[in-house]
Chains A and B, each alone.
Chain A
Amino acid sequence: MFDIDLYREVWQAISKNRLRSTLTAFGVLWGIFMLVVLHGAGNGLENGITKNFSGFATNSAFIWAEKTSKPYKGFKEGRQWSMSNKDIVALKQEVPEIEYIVPRLNGWRQNGQNNTLYKDRYGTFSYKGDYPDLAKVQAFDMIHGRFLNEIDLAESRKVCVIGPRVAEVLFPHGENPVGEYIRMSGVYFKIVGVFNVSNSNRNDRRQEIHIPFTTMQKAFNYGDIVHYFAFTAHEGNKVSVLENKIMDIVKERNNVAPDDPQAIGHFNVETRYEQMSKLFQGIDILTFIVGLGTLLAGVIGISNIMLVVVKERTVEIGIKRAIGATPLSIIKQIMIESVILTLSAGYIGLTLGILLNEGLGAIMAQNPDSVLLNPGIDLKTGLISLAVIVTSGAMAGLLPATRAIKVKPIDAIRGE
């Protein structure tokens, strides 16, 4: 039942005791505000760093050949060896856990000064010989045309997909490069697509030109060697385990000592990702502890202020009891007073915190390199912390009320 008189009483007690009400409210407001801001910033940091992983499948790893460090089967140490097409075929057959395996050739020999020409414009770009499946491991955000396909690969077509920087240099007036021919190290390639790179940490990708793997081998005379390959694991398989298995096979097939630690270079996105995840867990725990601390401080603040007003309240309650207030009516009024105060202050704190996060997010969004991305908290966290503080506010109100009820009315009136 909505008792308008009760709320009038409550409002009068709040508004006529302005300093007390303001102090109480500020404690709550600050607690919630700090929790929201801290937790929001933590989330923003996580979002920002996670973004740096975007473009890579988190279940992927990369493997490449390095100089051997141990003699094996008649080979001396320090041998420069290469993986070949056959290794890829064998791995596909022998390791069913592999989801995608994408070999690559780097056009290092072609990466000389001004290696690429279009009409009177030229630039220095890096060539990559790739499989169409690369798009499954690494995200390609196509702005024009398409990525390489299986036919390009099978027919060793002279087609290429260029990065945004390449398009900028060779086609500075914003024209669509698809269908145009560019000269790469003396060989003409038809542009079939242009991609964009949104991850600012991978600006090197902006000046890449991808051509079919087979075309790279033939046109630039790489034989059947493979510089490195990326692979992803089928769901349920740990990339780090699969990585070791693959490296063992590759070593055996290429007469590399099984215990040679340096002969194969490898990079595992999953491991890095897990390290970051652990870091975020740490940050989460930290912001949780600090946030909880400020929340607790807010609660203690309310309780303190409530304790400070016990005496003043006690007299008031004593008088009210002398003129016929029942214990229930007194407890009800003070608790509602306390809850309204903490609820409204908590709501304001929540709103301010969210606004700050939003503002911060808007500023950060203008700078693509910022560490914070979309700082903010989820609704659940906000509501839970609000519930905590309102409950404790109610409890804090209960304390002076019950104390004043327990003592004899005459002692309450005398303020003892």
Chain B
Amino acid sequence: MVKIEQLHKSYITGKNSLHVLKGIDLYVEEGEMVSIMGSSGSGKSTLLNILGILDTYDEGSYYLAGELVRNMNEKKAALYRNRTLGFIFQQFNLIPFKNALENVALPLYYQKVSRKKRNQVALEYLDKVGLKDWAHHMPNELSGGQKQRVAIARALISKPKIILADEPTGALDSVTSYEVMNILKEVNNEGITMMIVTHEHDISEMTQRVIHLKDGLIEKNITNRHN
């Protein structure tokens, strides 16, 4: 599903160049649930953003579902983000002036699905994350866990091949964190590849494989036996 070879990424701020990713090689199979760990500044979020075509890379190659992603034009990138990728963010990133249902339905709007049809599908997905009754609430009327579940429903609605989650439980307490992780595991059981960036060990414990990043390089690649 994901193949990365010798990936390099630097941030240039003024005269200073910050080498964040220093040659990453990574292979993730379809249906895998992988977590990426590392201290802050290790480059884990940068890696995830590159995987999600939200950011560019300098050197190396990145194949997503068999296709090389490099200097992709914005229109094509939008298509990939819409159909192949699903995002879950630490800060949920819901559109504040849209209710839960409209937020979930938005990816289908960009697929030109009719309003009636996409609201119907969105309601199904909200039901899936247990928020059917909250469909018409605005984001600011929802708790953190609920918001993240709305965001998960939004990421799932376009039936992506891979879900990229950047600290999905970072803003949640442990109980809701486990709830969210259970939903993500269910999603993974349906065959969707899952890549989660986290710095919490108990979260990474729940995934099949843990990739440890340190100073822009993969330090350890541990497969969790119990999974």
Q: Which residues of B contact A329 (CB under 8 A)?
A: 110
**Pick the contact of B97 from A13, A322, A325 — CB < 8 Å?**
A13
Asked if B97 and A324 make an inter-chain contact with CB atoms under 8 angstroms apart, the answer reads: no
**Pick the contact of A5 from B52, B79, B115, B158 — CB < 8 Å?**
B115
Asked if A325 and B78 make an inter-chain contact with CB atoms under 8 angstroms apart, the answer reads: yes
- Considering the complex, give the chain B residue whose CB is closest to the CB of A329: B110
Asked if B83 and A324 make an inter-chain contact with CB atoms under 8 angstroms apart, the answer reads: yes
- Considering the complex, give the chain A residue whose CB is closest to the CB of B86: A323
Given contacts A324-B83, A413-B54, contact A319 B93 (CB under 8 A): yes
Q: Does A16 belong to the interface (CB within 8 Å)?
A: yes
Q: Does B87 belong to the interface (CB within 8 Å)?
A: yes
CB of B163, distance to nearest CB on chain A (Å):
12
Asked if B78 and A326 make an inter-chain contact with CB atoms under 8 angstroms apart, the answer reads: yes
Q: Does A281 belong to the interface (CB within 8 Å)?
A: no
Assembled-state Cα–Cα distance A65/B154 (Å): 97
Assembled-state Cα–Cα distance A408/B57 (Å): 12
- Considering the complex, give the chain A residue whose CB is closest to the CB of B155: A323
- Considering the complex, give the chain B residue whose CB is closest to the CB of A324: B82
Assembled-state Cα–Cα distance A409/B54 (Å): 5
Asked if B83 and A322 make an inter-chain contact with CB atoms under 8 angstroms apart, the answer reads: no
Asked if A323 and B110 make an inter-chain contact with CB atoms under 8 angstroms apart, the answer reads: yes
Residue from A13, A319, A323 having most chain B Cβ neighbours under 10 A: A323
Asked if B74 and A326 make an inter-chain contact with CB atoms under 8 angstroms apart, the answer reads: yes
Asked if B81 and A322 make an inter-chain contact with CB atoms under 8 angstroms apart, the answer reads: yes
- Considering the complex, give the chain B residue whose CB is closest to the CB of A18: B97
Asked if B54 and A410 make an inter-chain contact with CB atoms under 8 angstroms apart, the answer reads: yes
**Pick the contact of B154 from A5, A323, A327, A413 — CB < 8 Å?**
A323
Q: Does B120 belong to the interface (CB within 8 Å)?
A: no
**Pick the contact of B109 from A9, A16, A413 — CB < 8 Å?**
A9
Residue from B54, B55, B87, B89 having most chain A Cβ neighbours under 10 A: B54
Q: How large is the interface on A (under 10, 10 to 19, 20 to 34, 35 or more residues)?
A: 20 to 34
Q: Which residues of A contact B53 (CB under 8 A)?
A: 409
**Pick the contact of B78 from A4, A17, A327 — CB < 8 Å?**
A327
Given contacts A12-B98, A329-B110, A410-B49, contact A324 B93 (CB under 8 A): no
Assembled-state Cα–Cα distance A412/B206 (Å): 31
The majority secondary structure among interface residues of chain A is helix
**Pick the contact of A324 from B89, B111, B115 — CB < 8 Å?**
B111
* Per-residue B-contact encoding for A321-338, CB less than 8 Å = 1, 0 else: 111111111000000000
Q: Does A405 belong to the interface (CB within 8 Å)?
A: yes
Q: Which residues of A contact B115 (CB under 8 A)?
A: 4-5, 8
Q: Does A320 belong to the interface (CB within 8 Å)?
A: yes
CB of B157, distance to nearest CB on chain A (Å):
9
- Considering the complex, give the chain B residue whose CB is closest to the CB of A322: B87
Which residues, 377 to 413 on A, are CB-close (under 8 Å) to B? 405, 408-410, 413
Asked if B79 and A12 make an inter-chain contact with CB atoms under 8 angstroms apart, the answer reads: no
Asked if B54 and A324 make an inter-chain contact with CB atoms under 8 angstroms apart, the answer reads: no
- Considering the complex, give the chain B residue whose CB is closest to the CB of A408: B55
Which residues, 42 to 89 on B, are CB-close (under 8 Å) to A? 49, 52-56, 74-75, 78-79, 81-83, 87, 89
Which residues, 172 to 223 on B, are CB-close (under 8 Å) to A? none
Assembled-state Cα–Cα distance A5/B94 (Å): 19
Q: Which residues of A contact B74 (CB under 8 A)?
A: 326-327, 405
Q: Which residues of A contact B93 (CB under 8 A)?
A: 315, 319, 322, 413
**Pick the contact of A413 from B83, B89, B97, B155 — CB < 8 Å?**
B89
Q: Does A97 belong to the interface (CB within 8 Å)?
A: no
Asked if B97 and A321 make an inter-chain contact with CB atoms under 8 angstroms apart, the answer reads: no
Asked if B75 and A408 make an inter-chain contact with CB atoms under 8 angstroms apart, the answer reads: no
Given contacts A326-B74, A326-B78, contact A320 B95 (CB under 8 A): yes
Q: Which residues of A contact B89 (CB under 8 A)?
A: 413
Asked if A321 and B55 make an inter-chain contact with CB atoms under 8 angstroms apart, the answer reads: no
Assembled-state Cα–Cα distance A336/B131 (Å): 33
Asked if B98 and A408 make an inter-chain contact with CB atoms under 8 angstroms apart, the answer reads: no
CB of B225, distance to nearest CB on chain A (Å):
34
Q: Does A133 belong to the interface (CB within 8 Å)?
A: no
Assembled-state Cα–Cα distance A9/B95 (Å): 12
Given contacts A5-B109, A316-B95, A413-B93, contact A323 B81 (CB under 8 A): yes
Closest 4 CB pairs of A and B: A324-B82, A16-B97, A410-B54, A409-B54
Q: Other than A323-B110, A324-B107, A325-B82, give 19 A-B pairs with Cβ distance below 8 A.
A: A12-B98, A16-B97, A316-B95, A319-B93, A320-B95, A320-B110, A322-B81, A323-B87, A323-B106, A324-B78, A324-B79, A325-B78, A325-B110, A326-B78, A326-B79, A326-B110, A327-B78, A410-B55, A413-B93
- Can you list 24 contacts pairing A with B, beta carbon distance less than 8 Å? A4-B115, A5-B109, A5-B114, A13-B97, A16-B97, A16-B98, A315-B93, A316-B95, A319-B93, A319-B95, A320-B95, A320-B106, A322-B52, A323-B155, A324-B81, A324-B158, A325-B82, A325-B110, A326-B79, A328-B75, A329-B110, A405-B74, A408-B56, A409-B53
